[in-house]
Amino acid sequence: MAQCVQSVQEFIQDSFVPMVAVLCSEDAERVTRKNNLSFPELLRPFCRLTSEGHLRDPNNQVVVVKGLRISVTGINTRPPQSPELHRLLSQAVSVCQPPEGSPANVITAGDYDLNISATTPWFETYRENFLQSMPASEHEFLNHYLACMLVVSSREAVPTEQFLKLSQEQHRIQHSGEYTHPKWFIPNTLKYYVLLHDISEGDEQRADSVYEDMKQRYGTQGCYLLKINSRSGSTGADEQMPDPWSQYLHKTSIHNPELYEEYAVSNAVENNIGAEEDGLDPSIRDGVSETPPLQLDHPTDAGYPGNDASQSVNNVDETRPQKQASGTSHTSPTPRGTCLTLNDHDHIRQFIQEFTFRGFLPHIEKNIRQLNDQLVSRKGLSRSLFSATKKLFGGGKVPEKSIAELKNTAGLLYPSEAPELQIRKMADLCFLVQHYELAYNCYHTAKKDFLSDQAMLYAAGALEMAAVAAFLQSGAPRPYPAHYMDTAIQTYRDVCKNMLLAERCCLLSAEILKSQVKFSDAATLLIKMTSEDSDLRSALLLEQAAHCFINMRSPMVRKFAFHMILAGHRFSKAGQKRHALRCYSQALQVYKGKGWTLAEDHINFTIGRQSFTLRQPENAVAAFRHILINDSKQSAGQQAAFLREYLYVYKSMSQLSGDGSLPQLPLPCLHSSQTRVFFGHERRLAEGEKQAATHVSLEQEFDRDLSQLWRELEERVVSVANRGTVPITFQPSQCCLNSQTDNLRYPLAVVEEPIIVEVVFRNPLKVPLALSALSLLWKFTLKGFSDPQGGATGETVSNEKEVRLLIVSRLFVPEARLKLLPHKTGELHVLGVVYNLGTGEVGNSEGDLVCVRGQQNLEIQGPRLNMTKEEKTSVGYGPDRRLDPIITPPMPLLELFTLQEIN
């Protein structure tokens, strides 16, 4: 798995934290709303204790509690149901992307240097949100409320009466039987009375007086006076205050509906782009699952407090002010804590510490002792559970029968006073306050009782937490029982049909195995938890499995790449296009250039699709281009599909760019070295017409011996004309240049005489290509040769901007002859060929084809230099000037007339 910010111990402790409910009066809620925060939101950044806490276990041993975090929520905060939970988790993953410009993380594995993600914050975000949104269950108490804060404003006429009303309301919610949620840990829930005083508008002396009365009523350990809002609108208006709430409220949409709305809008735009511009072939399109990938297995429970608008019960999310109309900008988040000073921050932090150390932990300690006493008396034990014999607690394993053979009493519900549940309750209490040894003993005992009753849901829960508690024990007195977790996962998934709990087990166990460098076991576990019911979960787990393979002592590179591809496929089905593109791009590093052409084609095609959907046309064109430039092993139908997608993406990119540039086309293959250049008029074979006096034409093959014969004849003529000597500057005439002629010198062409360039193409595909509107791309520099000094050089012109059609519409032959007719003297450079590329499907008119216009450069490598010693010991090539003719003034043209004798 990828590296995580938290240690495994911190991750597990933050996954199971004591739950505290909040019940506010309306006026108290108004005081906190001045800061655009509810009361639970106000406390959230300060809910992790920075100092140690202490309590005593039933054996009177001191337990040290370090880094404890508590979860404070509104009393009617509802766990999200299946469709909502799926949306929230999907959004949390989507908005968490790798930071742009982050330094590369290169892992060397054998012959590979892989640039992969060192961390996967999107997975940690998903995991955190998933665990925080776990619904409270009947078989465990970890997500049940242990305490309730009753919050009243000091401005109330009679605050004690308001406290009484809130206390009665909490009692009714817990004990009336009207509500199935929220769930409460123990009958005697701790009630903690908080007097909230607004310094900016309240009477501080009256608040102090009320608080003194509260201490008499509830005891100093059961109440607190919290003073906030020290900062008025005119005081320190320009002072920049820290915003500790942003990292909690902006982190995910589970606590931030505004962020979810922004995500939904951007996601809709992205999907519209894919729907409107996606020219992908339907036969190879990946399907997108419309079924919510994460299904809650619990039936929907009715009866949440707070459904009645007249009730004064608080919900963190429901009490948030409605979002403004569409004119509100998403780029300017709502300011929070604007009425608070740093002293107020300290007051809130001190309040949480007082609540925890003087009220909360003593309350838990007392209940652990009471539960221990009850269990000892009921079971007839002579000593406490903490000091029970090894025979009772130790060594027992899961029964020899497999889980599948055991009878599943899924409908079994223990009464609340059942000893088995009391043991589980005590185990959960000990676990929440980090007394892992006693928690393990209790879980172990409860596990055996549940298995005896074949209460498999309860047994799986006890096995899960026994394994975690064993791992967290200080000093590691016993090894991590991974088989406990395996059995729990199998029971949750196959017997109880509860994928939510099975996934929780998987996330916990995989992180533990990773911390023990058991990457192979972690990868196996993660892969087993992939299924068709959730594409998002499967994608994330497959990606983590891939990281396990690459982090082994002997990295398994190909398994890493294979599982990254599987993860990318599932990300794509889950609508996570950016994450899918990232996974495929990382896998391509392994498959690229290794001869696995079919796999490489698939990856490049998918990268092209995702890049185009994400409005990255350059990346899309590059990916599709790679599929087409090599000798593809794909079938003709698949090649045709690839070509259509490339043409569509390329055309869309050209329309978006609008700059008129002509990028390089990958097809057909242009064999630059086979280019032939013919100077002058072609042979006219028709009777009665003049015919050029030349020994070559484009219709015949090059004959080296015949060419040498003509060269010698030309030298003799030149020698006779120069009184028996051949000038040093003599350059034999070459009417046709090719790869076998001497092209070291600039060839000569004559004004008003055509230059014919023959280019040779090769189609590497099994499907026909249609080329149309072919023309040469050239650059010309005007130069006058009549001046004795060589003439002045004029400006250089090019036809790159306006390339005219020089030959007819469609071409299916492997070569094309393009003609240039120079009208002025100067230096000409033929740069390449410009054409329209389309599919050559039979039966389609040109108007029905998707055609794109582009170019290919004519780049010819000259002969190998091998004359001097330096040239022989190095690799160098001379120039090839066949495409760089010098246009000279008019010259006499020799014509040959043959007269036919008349008999």
Rounded Cα gap, residues 599 and 585, in angstroms? 13
Say if residues 126 and 339 touch (Cβ distance below 8 Å): no
User: CB under 8 Å to 263, separation ≥6 — which residues?
Assistant: 91, 94, 95, 253
Question: Is the pLDDT assigned to residue 240 strictly greater than 50?
Answer: yes
Q: Output 621 or 689, whichever has higher pLDDT.
A: 621
What are the beta bridge partners of residue 797? 780
Q: Is residue 4 part of a domain?
A: no
Question: Is the pLDDT assigned to residue 258 strictly greater than 50?
Answer: no
CA angle, 618 as apex, 612 and 621 as ends, to 5°?
A: 70
The domain total for the chain is 1
Rounded Cα gap, residues 798 and 834, in angstroms? 13
Kindly state the tokens that stand for 602. 């698939």
Amino acid at residue number 516? Q
pLDDT of residue 897: 62
Rounded Cα gap, residues 353 and 226, in angstroms? 12
Lowest mean pLDDT among 12-16, 483-487, 544-548, 631-635: 631-635
- Classify the C-alpha dihedral 791-795-796-802 as positive or negative: negative
Helix 535-550 vs helix 121-132: crossing angle, to nearest 10: 130
Say if residues 441 and 393 touch (Cβ distance below 8 Å): yes
Mean pLDDT for 512-522 is 95
Under DSSP, is residue 597 helix (H, G, I), strand (E, B) or coil?
helix
The count of C-alpha atoms lying within 13 angstroms of the C-alpha of 7, restricted to the half-sphere facing its C-beta, is 6
Q: How many CB atoms lie within 10 A of CB 191?
A: 21
Amino acid at residue number 15? S
Mean pLDDT for 569-592 is 94
Q: Is residue 718 part of a domain?
A: no
Go through 486-517 and write b for each residue having 16 or more CB atoms within 10 A of its CB, e for each that does not. Answer: bbbbbbbbebbebbbbbbbbbbbbbbbbbbee
Q: Which DSSP helix (H) or strand (E) runs through 736?
A: strand 736-737
Amino acid at residue number 615? R
Q: Output 676 or 727, whichever has higher pLDDT.
A: 676
Kindly state the tokens that stand for 141. 């108490």
Say if residues 525 and 544 touch (Cβ distance below 8 Å): no
pLDDT of residue 804: 42
Share of the chain above pLDDT 70, in %: 78
Backbone angles phi, psi at 781, to 5 degrees: -115, 120
Rg (C-alpha) for the chain, rounded Å, is 41
Strand blocks (E) in 98-252:
106-109, 112-115, 145-153, 190-198, 223-228
The position carrying tokens 């519209």 is 272
The count of C-alpha atoms lying within 13 angstroms of the C-alpha of 739, restricted to the half-sphere facing its C-beta, is 13
In tens, the pLDDT along 450-480 reads 999 999 999 999 999 999 999 999 876 678 9
Question: Is the pLDDT assigned to residue 438 strictly greater than 70?
Answer: yes
Kindly state the tokens that stand for 370. 């009471």
Rounded Cα gap, residues 545 and 123, in angstroms? 12
DSSP letter for each residue of 50-118: SS-EEEE-TT--EEEE-S-B-EEEETTPPPP-HHHHHHHHHHHHHT--PPTTPPP-EEEETTEEEE--S
pLDDT of residue 223: 96
Our measurement of the distance from residue 5's CA atom to the centroid of its chain's CA atoms, rounded to an integer in Å, reads 18
DSSP letter for each residue of 423-483: HHHHHHHHHHTT-HHHHHHHHHHHHHHHHHTT-HHHHHHHHHHHHHHHHHSTT--S---HH
What are the beta bridge partners of residue 128? none
In tens, the pLDDT along 13-42 reads 999 999 999 999 999 999 999 999 999 999
The position carrying tokens 């740069």 is 831
Under DSSP, is residue 653 helix (H, G, I), strand (E, B) or coil?
helix
User: CB under 8 Å to 786, separation ≥6 — which residues?
Assistant: 889
Kindly state the tokens that stand for 840. 């050559």
In tens, the pLDDT along 620-669 reads 888 888 888 777 788 888 888 888 888 888 888 776 655 667 778 888 88
How does residue 299 score in pLDDT terms, banded at 50, 70 and 90? very low
Q: Output 410 or 701, whichever has higher pLDDT.
A: 701
pLDDT of residue 655: 66
Rounded Cα gap, residues 609 and 278, in angstroms? 8
In tens, the pLDDT along 103-133 reads 668 888 878 888 888 889 999 999 999 999 9
Amino acid at residue number 849? L
Rounded Cα gap, residues 649 and 850, in angstroms? 10
Rounded Cα gap, residues 781 and 785, in angstroms? 12
* Among 569, 643, 90, residue whose Cα is nearest residue 286: 569
Q: Is residue 822 part of a domain?
A: yes
Kindly state the tokens that stand for 373. 């006493």
CA angle, 577 as apex, 573 and 581 as ends, to 5°?
A: 110
Burial of 419 (0-12, 13-18, 19+ CB in 10 A): middle
What are the beta bridge partners of residue 62? 56
Q: Is residue 52 part of a domain?
A: no
Mean pLDDT for 758-785 is 88
Q: Is residue 302 part of a domain?
A: no
Go through 703-718 and write b for each residue having 16 or more CB atoms within 10 A of its CB, e for each that does not. Answer: eeeebeebeeeeeeee
Under DSSP, is residue 828 helix (H, G, I), strand (E, B) or coil?
strand
User: CB under 8 Å to 298, separation ≥6 — which residues?
Assistant: 135, 137, 498, 500
Kindly state the tokens that stand for 789. 């000094």
How does residue 391 score in pLDDT terms, banded at 50, 70 and 90? very low
Say if residues 782 and 794 touch (Cβ distance below 8 Å): yes
pLDDT of residue 852: 85
Lowest mean pLDDT among 148-162, 565-579, 850-864: 850-864
What's the predicted TM-score (pTM) here? 0.81
Q: Is residue 94 part of a domain?
A: no
The position carrying tokens 């059961």 is 222
Kindly state the tokens that stand for 610. 């995702």
Q: State the residue range of the domain holding 891.
A: 674-694+735-896
Q: Could you tell me where the DSSP H helices lie in 236-389?
A: 246-249, 257-277, 342-354, 361-379
Question: Is the pLDDT assigned to residue 203 strictly greater than 60?
Answer: yes
User: CB under 8 Å to 220, separation ≥6 — which residues?
Assistant: 358
Q: Is residue 784 part of a domain?
A: yes
* Among 355, 548, 386, residue whose Cα is nearest residue 62: 386
Question: Is the pLDDT assigned to residue 393 strictly greater than 90?
Answer: no
* Among 444, 451, 449, 492, residue whose Cα is nearest residue 465: 444
pLDDT of residue 251: 52
Report the chain's mean pLDDT, rounded to a whole number: 81
Kindly state the tokens that stand for 842. 């039979």
CA angle, 335 as apex, 334 and 338 as ends, to 5°?
A: 150
